[in-house]
């Protein structure tokens, strides 16, 4: 995908992913995304290096805390139950009380297992 930035007085004013308009200052740009460790790091906001061509849009990297990851995993476990419940509510002909109870009963042990983890390696083992 092509990217363009408009630089005015040494500062980026606009970023577009389509052909730029006729205003002056448009330059080609590329995204620079460092490698991240899946589930353990995430991209943060970006900065621009306008001193080179094409302009670089450089993303930062931030470590994900174990506790933050645990919260997300517990929410995902609950969301799976909610999605099943929603599907059954949208089509009552497919309502299956036993399947719904099994899904509900599965949430607490999953969340307890997640809570017991203290490292990313332990959380990885649950995936």
Please state the domain extents for the chain: 3-63, 66-126
Residue (of 52, 72, 82) closest to 114 by Cα position: 72
What pLDDT sits at residue 66? Answer: 98
This prediction has a pTM of 0.72
pLDDT in tens, 38-82: 999 999 999 999 999 999 999 999 999 999 999 999 998 888 888
Rounded distance between C-alpha atoms, residue 121 and residue 98, angstroms: 34
Q: Where are the alpha helices (DSSP H) in 1-127?
A: 66-90, 97-116, 120-126
């Amino acid at each position: 995908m092509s990217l363009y930035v408009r630089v005015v007085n040494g500062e980026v004013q606009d970023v577009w992913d389509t052909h730029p308009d006729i205003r002056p200052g448009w330059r080609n740009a590329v995204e620079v995304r460092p490698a991240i460790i899946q589930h353990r790091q995430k991209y943060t906001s970006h900065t621009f290096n306008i001193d080179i061509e094409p302009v670089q849009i450089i993303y930062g990297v931030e470590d994900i805390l174990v506790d933050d990851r645990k919260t997300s995993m517990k929410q995902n476990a609950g969301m799976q139950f909610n999605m099943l419940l929603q599907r059954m509510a949208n089509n009552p002909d497919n309502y299956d009380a036993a399947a719904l109870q099994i899904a509900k009963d599965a949430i607490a042990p999953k969340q307890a297992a997640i809570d017991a983890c203290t490292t990313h390696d332990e959380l990885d083992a649950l995936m």
